[in-house]
Structure 1
Amino acid sequence: MNDKSVQYSKPLAYYLQVKKLKIFSVLKHQSFSGELFWSSPTGHHWTLFINQGQVLYGTGGVHPIRQWYRQVRAHAPELDLGQLALPQGATSPSVWLHCWDYHLLLDWFRQGYLSKKALGTIIANIIADILFDVVQSRATQYQLTRYPALDPNQAPIYPDNTERLFAITDLWQSWLEVGLEAYSPNLAPVIVHPEKIQTHVSPQVYTSLIHLLDGQRSLRDLAVKLGQDVLTLTQVLQPYIRAGWISLVEIADYAPVIGAGLNASTVKNAGNKLCDRSVTIACVDDSPMVCQTLGQVIRAADYNFVAITEGVKAIPILLAQKPDLIFLDLVMPDASGYEICSNLRKISYFKNVPIIILSGNDGLVDQVRARLLGATDFLSKPIEPIVILSVIQKYLKHLIVA
């Protein structure tokens, strides 16, 4: 009987999970073209588009739109993401690579709005996030669907597979070695015991943490925002998470603001069909600029919009207009957002109307106080257009027919 045991130089979970990536060497050897579809028992799925053995693009997972938006914002900050639409009449140049997000990137690239380097970086980072999630997810299954190879003009960017696979295996090994196996980078940190953290960090660090760890940004979102790698950021937060001072919570993906369509008219009509009446959104903010920004986004999505720039007139106007959702500024010179929120909740019509507090201050105290007075959610200024529409769809999904 052989009593020798297998000796592993790395954690066993490393070997078990990274075996999934060996499929790429086979697909490259066979010059495979088509889709590689992964699924997990948790209901998540990922699709990688492969042309002649090279991964072109990927989508899916917990936050497919959030991850796309995060990378575009980081590597093409000059682009206006308030209007996510392909030109009128644009169609997918292939019969199988039919992702609106991929073709929107290509359109920007061909028009000169996006450099080849930026396009390659965005695509490579999205693919890397997907591969890491696939590796971290247990009991995944895959399916291959072969299609004819694409013309090079339809797929101008080929991020290097080998380099990316090495990076993912190294990241997963490091993730395990520092005890992060159970931590998904798609979770969002939120402070639950600020008083304890305040005694362990400097006032400047405490202010930054309160500002950033609001439960609205995932670890990946924060890493990109801060210009750090997600491993280092998570390690910094790990002691506070283990102590129970910071919690990691699930957050929703951004809403698909352009739906399944690829042009402005589709944005207006698809995904925002109303049950039996028009949806009305109100904004109470003393800043005309804030009201104008929200109004442009909301009207473009085919909702009615009411702007109120004087807090003292808010309640009478809201009673007359009866909006389905209210964005409410917290600090105004002539009225307090706290007081308006509290008074609205005393009126039967507004008892269950979503009230979204807007504030330039991310303080946890403000958030807690606003929620105690009946606020539904709390957003930090400035607000991205995609976040505005995601919040509307999140809280008014019972009024919106997909």
Structure 2
Amino acid sequence: MQGKLSEIDIRSILQLIELGQRTGELFVEAYPAQLPVGVGVPLFQDTRPSQSVPERSWFVFFLNGRIVYASDNNTSLARLSDYLRRYRVDVPLSQLTISSIASVNAPEYGYLWALLENHTLTPIQGRSIIQSMVHETLFDLLSLHQGSFIFELSPALSPQLTTLEIAPLLAKIMKQIQEWKQFYPQIQTPDQCLVIADAERLQASLSKNTFHSFSRYADGKTSIRQIARYLNRDILTVARAIYSYVQKGVIQLIDCPYPELEGAGGARAVRSKDFGRWHETRTPRIVCIDDGVTLRQTVEQILNQNGYEATAIANPLDALSQVFQLKPDLILCDIAMPELDGYELCGMLRKSTAFRQIPIVMLTGKDGFIDRVKARMVGATDYLTKPFGESELLMLVEKYVGVGGSESRQSGEALTHSAKDGLEENDRTDATSSSSPSFS
């Protein structure tokens, strides 16, 4: 089952899955240019010229027509950390040993199970966290009116801690969405952050302890959604509590800061925001797997001249053995290749513990929704559509492993136009000559 949300809404899709008692995954992708301004879907307003609007997508996992787990495409584990704060759990998630269920589309779920297995969380706490995660994901999905979706039958996400009946969830969340509209336009989205505009007036209307507690959250960095997670409340309760103060101008709401790659004073240690993986101070190592000679050579040249350590590999079978020796920080992988296509290669790498958290970006000459979904379902982190230019390539690489060395970066800016033209021309040829993999 697949289609566009202009033809069938999320509520109807969920009802069909429940009625048919289906087991599988629902993938929904919003159209970036048409994200609603308010009513549950976060704003992505980034005015920096070098950055593009982030894509928003969601996964919902089902077992016999009931929901097992749901999440968006942000796999940074920040949401799980927020919920753990509710139970005063302070555990470095990166140090946990996780099972293979965390390797593809549900890393958060895998880490949650690791916390249950080592008795850091109780089953009751785990069920409460999953229910909250599903609830907030459905709130965003049911507020969405433009986008595409695919539901694919597949083995159930396992093990299951709980399963949730769809009909009661739909009734509750649809009511909340309607109530949320009363806060608009003063409060547009749960992902807006709070700032105190008039501390004296606010302090005069609150007790000393309440004002002190509230001040911790009104820092311009903590969203309404995060406050709800910390306090174990729904977003409507938080919105009601601040609404009158927003109306009076005592509290202002702003767009939360765009998540940056973290580093210490511009040092070369940066954190991949998708996987929470710290890269050491060595030069970021990137592997490009593509059977196109010109593309391989040009990508390798661009990255090496911009401060990265790039290695290009033509044969996907050879790549399987070489990546274990190279231990890259990022893998760029073509989809249409002989002997072993990119989907198969990505799926094989994700089965290895060493590559469960390494960003894998698919290079494809196809801009179709199905190709992107297939990439997601085999565990790809992102995709880059050919033909692409130097700036697009560098922007994507910086997103996952940070910027290259400064001296090499300066020399990279002097890359000849002929090399860039060769990259784009070669990709146009690949895009027209490569056959599209079938989707089943």
Normalized against structure 2, the TM-score is what?
A: 0.49
Corresponding residue number in structure 1 for 2:195: 190
CA contact (8 A) 1:190 1:215 kept: yes
Give the CA deviation at 1:202: 4.8
1:58 aligns with 2:70: yes
RMSD: 4.1
Q: Secondary structure at the match of 2:222?
A: coil
Give the CA deviation at 1:207: 3.6
The 1:173–1:62 alpha-carbon spacing in structure 2 relative to 1, beyond 3 Å, is farther
Inter-partner Cα distance in structure 2 for 1:255 and 1:51? 36
For structure 1, list consecutive stretches of 5 or more residues without a partner in the other structure: 1-15, 278-301, 303-392
The 1:187–1:261 alpha-carbon spacing in structure 2 relative to 1, beyond 3 Å, is closer
Corresponding residue number in structure 2 for 1:123: 130
CA contact (8 A) 1:35 1:50 kept: yes
The 1:267–1:52 alpha-carbon spacing in structure 2 relative to 1, beyond 3 Å, is farther
Give the CA deviation at 1:219: 0.9
CA contact (8 A) 1:187 1:219 kept: yes
Corresponding residue number in structure 2 for 1:289: none
Q: Secondary structure at the match of 2:148?
A: strand
**Counterparts in 2 of 1:259-274, with a 5 A limit?**
267-268=278-279, 273=284
Give the CA deviation at 1:134: 1.9
Within the candidate set 25, 29, 32, 2:22 is matched to 32
Corresponding residue number in structure 2 for 1:87: 97
1:146 aligns with 2:152: yes
Q: Secondary structure at the match of 1:39?
A: strand
Give the CA deviation at 1:195: 3.8
Give the CA deviation at 1:200: 4.4
The 1:64–1:84 alpha-carbon spacing in structure 2 relative to 1, beyond 3 Å, is closer
Corresponding residue number in structure 1 for 2:345: none
Give the CA deviation at 1:101: 1.2
CA contact (8 A) 1:84 1:258 kept: no
Give the CA deviation at 1:179: 5.0
Inter-partner Cα distance in structure 1 for 2:107 and 2:102? 11
- The code of the aligned residue for 1:194 comes to A
CA contact (8 A) 2:18 2:166 kept: no
CA contact (8 A) 1:36 1:142 kept: no
Give the CA deviation at 1:72: 2.8
The 1:202–1:123 alpha-carbon spacing in structure 2 relative to 1, beyond 3 Å, is closer
CA contact (8 A) 2:126 2:161 kept: no
The 1:141–1:201 alpha-carbon spacing in structure 2 relative to 1, beyond 3 Å, is same
The 1:216–1:271 alpha-carbon spacing in structure 2 relative to 1, beyond 3 Å, is farther
Inter-partner Cα distance in structure 2 for 1:78 and 1:160? 29
Give the CA deviation at 1:128: 0.7
- The code of the aligned residue for 1:244 comes to G
- The code of the aligned residue for 2:101 comes to S
Corresponding residue number in structure 2 for 1:103: 110
Corresponding residue number in structure 1 for 2:89: 78
Give the CA deviation at 1:261: 6.5
Inter-partner Cα distance in structure 2 for 1:249 and 1:63? 24
CA contact (8 A) 1:33 1:50 kept: yes
The 1:272–1:175 alpha-carbon spacing in structure 2 relative to 1, beyond 3 Å, is farther
CA contact (8 A) 1:100 1:260 kept: no
The 1:182–1:239 alpha-carbon spacing in structure 2 relative to 1, beyond 3 Å, is closer
Corresponding residue number in structure 2 for 1:341: none
1:237 aligns with 2:227: no
Inter-partner Cα distance in structure 1 for 2:216 and 2:275? 36
Give the CA deviation at 1:86: 4.3
Inter-partner Cα distance in structure 1 for 2:151 and 2:282? 29
Q: Secondary structure at the match of 1:98?
A: coil
Corresponding residue number in structure 1 for 2:295: none
Q: Alpha-carbon deviations, 1:321-357, whole Å to 9, x = none?
A: xxxxxxxxxxxxxxxxxxxxxxxxxxxxxxxxxxxxx
CA contact (8 A) 1:52 1:149 kept: no
Corresponding residue number in structure 1 for 2:334: none
Corresponding residue number in structure 2 for 1:68: 80
The 1:195–1:167 alpha-carbon spacing in structure 2 relative to 1, beyond 3 Å, is same
The 1:64–1:51 alpha-carbon spacing in structure 2 relative to 1, beyond 3 Å, is farther
Give the CA deviation at 1:272: 8.8
Q: Alpha-carbon deviations, 1:242-277, whole Å to 9, x = none?
A: 233322122245869676769xxx655699938859
Inter-partner Cα distance in structure 2 for 1:150 and 1:179? 39
Inter-partner Cα distance in structure 1 for 2:102 and 2:403? 36
**Counterparts in 2 of 1:152-163, with a 5 A limit?**
153-163=158-168
CA contact (8 A) 1:190 1:246 kept: yes
Inter-partner Cα distance in structure 1 for 2:282 and 2:176? 38
Inter-partner Cα distance in structure 2 for 1:71 and 1:121? 9
Equivalenced residues, count: 260
Q: Secondary structure at the match of 2:154?
A: coil
Q: Secondary structure at the match of 2:26?
A: strand
CA contact (8 A) 1:175 1:231 kept: yes
Give the CA deviation at 1:189: 0.8
Inter-partner Cα distance in structure 2 for 1:147 and 1:244? 50
Q: Which moves more between the two structures, 125-134 or 230-239?
A: 230-239
Q: Secondary structure at the match of 2:101?
A: coil
Within the candidate set 53, 58, 74, 1:46 is matched to 58
Inter-partner Cα distance in structure 2 for 1:168 and 1:122? 17
- The code of the aligned residue for 1:211 comes to R
**Counterparts in 2 of 1:331-370, with a 5 A limit?**
none
Give the CA deviation at 1:169: 1.9
The 1:180–1:228 alpha-carbon spacing in structure 2 relative to 1, beyond 3 Å, is farther
